[in-house]
Amino acid sequence: MKIGFIGLGIMGKPMSKNLLKAGYELTVYDLNTAAVDEVAAAGAAAAGTSARAAEGSDIIITMLPNSPHVKEAVMGKNGVLEGAKPGSLLIDMSSIAPLASQEIERACAEKGIKMIDAPVSGGEPKAIDGTLSIMVGGDKEVFERVKDILLCMGSSAVHCGRIGAGNTTKLANQVVVALNIAACAEAFTLAKKAGVDPEAVFNAVRGGLAGSTVMNAKVPMMLNNSYKPGFKVDLHIKDLENALDTAHEVGAPLPLTAQVMEMLQNLHADNCGGDDHSALAKYYAKISGTDIGK
């Protein structure tokens, strides 16, 4: 099984390495040649374009920042559709707008190429250890055919519906994560302002109903003022933009999401766009005058 992998960023690089560890033959491409060289040193072949990465590949995986990047990599000059053979499969694991997934799938179908959308959740740590949660939209038979490949990169892969359903599910995921992080930052700011040790509060509530995977992952970062990105503020802004745009299209009210979007935009304006999204604690520090960190 030959796989072309396009997009070797924070998430894509470890995901591609996990496929190599599983024994798959990879050809990789990214604009960042240093990332290509690193994955090539781990056993992949290097390609100079998306088309070259797709040539001869049975499966092409894209892991790119947003809808325009995926469209360009697939449908643009020297893109996947110029190199992929009829009967091959595109798995877009990027987090993009559901309507963009549907547009790209139609272009693939015209070339005799199947496509599923399969965005992921878990951030860099889970990309590294291969325990991502993968949400899939598209033909279920195609999903079943490649599920084992997906599970080389994740601990779960769930079929959610037709093409675009994977990205709709990811948008719902990102809404829950963003609101959860904001709630944690708000709650622990309350504790600190009231004179109670935020770490003690964390240890007291984490095992109860308020506890969550998000809390366990992000609150320790807030307490240590450590914001090395597992998932950047700017990327979460992108996801919430897609969520709000989709919500407007389908008539779903997202007032809480809109509020957290403004918080993230404030962080971006304060040059924190490259921080981990747990930096929402910085927003609360700014407006409260109190840092919950140690």
User: Of the residues 17, 114, 126, 170, which is catalytic?
Assistant: 170
Half-sphere exposure of 137 (CA within 13 A, CB side): 26
Tokens of 249: 């299209």
Tokens of 128: 């590294």
Active site residue 170: yes
Q: What string of DSSP letters covers the chain?
A: -EEEEE--STTHHHHHHHHHHTT-EEEEE-S-HHHHHHHHHTTPEE-SSHHHHHTT-SEEEE--SSHHHHHHHHHSTT-HHHHPPTT-EEEE-S---HHHHHHHHHHHHHTT-EEEE--EESHHHHHHHT-EEEEEES-HHHHHHHHHHHTTTEEEEEEEESTTHHHHHHHHHHHHHHHHHHHHHHHHHHHHHTT--HHHHHHHHTTSTT--HHHHHHHHHHHTT----SSBHHHHHHHHHHHHHHHHHHT---HHHHHHHHHHHHHHHTT-TTSBGGGHHHHHHHHHS-----
* Catalytic residue numbers, as ranges: 170
